[in-house]
Structure 1
């Protein structure tokens, strides 16, 4: 059988003879097959390296994403803890507000019908239940704000009414003649109705307004002499008679304790004193009903 060979001629330097490498066809096939196998191997190895690099990159991105999620979860946990603490604080504040509302309602004599509705009347305590969510707490807080605004308006009105209530006497001194029927001070045994109280005081004693109001009369008439009349609002009117001098005029606004006159003996009078008189809704009343009278020491 005739064998076939392949010859490779290698030409070295010019001064050397060519070299021949002879190998059989079978060897040639083995070389080609081995070369192809090595090529496939290295190609696969290169592809694996590329895949592994890509996988590592993707894995690192996922790790970074997971780390980011963990940071976000930790931040959320801290936020939840802060919100829980804030919710507890809000609940405590709501409880305090509810307690204050009850106390204010008691002072102002306001009945608490609901968190937003108030009315004049007897005092009752409003029940309080802890909110179950921030939204409920927010709604409840808004309701309390509305209630407190109503209480504030009521307290402003109450303060104004108190400031306009004649709960002090215009001068210090003993009551020489009380309100009601009395013996005629000008002699005889007849009796007359005394429409106010007479307070004994020295001539020229400062006479103060018993409450804030507006002067509706300041002048002289034959019976009362020099007289000042003040409208305090809420149906209350007071006047001060037999003065020696007036310090206000009609239309003036006066405050409680402000000097409006000086006592004297003008008009129909038997001596230096102040006649103090009061009306409620147009009806004469005993001026001492507004205050507990104690004789000045």
Structure 2
């Protein structure tokens, strides 16, 4: 079998930190990074300036610093763009672009190129997963205008297989502490919606008295609430499932057309996050919910 190269980027994990953890036994020598080091080739890398996520990843892909690859921050101003408009460093033209009498256009001779161009030209297959630049899209001066000039065509950003990087939707991580006092009998509308969705409860369905969280993404407002269901048929009051939903969208039955997820249904002890798509957002944003503690009587409910 021909050798394969897997490049793993760990944000903030410098070579010295990883080496010290391996040497001190914090990281096991026969697992994960320790196994890779013992079975493969390890080399220290040099942190670029500025040591930000987008510039660092583009430097890895091109072998050049921001002075040549033109990605100098996670968000910055393109020369020919409107004064009040910035571009994300994750979806900016790699190696710059030209600005002449005809306005901004794609450069015929970029000052840096990602490694996957040469690899694919040599007949290799390249896979990128959430790696800036390997998104396969046309980069335009104004990303919201399909008629805006192309600064870098998708051909320079296309690999064989990819999971696009995406962007931050604007909703940061939070923790929520609830108790039985935060719940009351669910409204008739919510009970009907849960029933229509095939969600049965062996005790009265309860619902948070107030919103778990309220926020706005790309101008769309979201009002997140929680319903508690007793899904264990054991002749006891045993609330074991939470339905986390947006009041504005309501609770809809399956199936859902991806990326839609509907409510996040989480059972006690799932020990996994459940994805939650924010319906209606133009930038296809989403989040996830995790329940770390769910007492049967709802005396303790911990949600992240």
> By the TM > 0.5 criterion, same fold?
no
More strand by share: 1
TM-score (norm 1): 0.21
Greater RCO, 1 or 2 (C-alpha within 8 Å, sep 6+): 1
Larger Cα Rg: Structure 1 or Structure 2? 1
Determine which structure has the larger helix proportion and give its number.
Answer: 1
TM-score, scaled relative to structure 2: 0.21
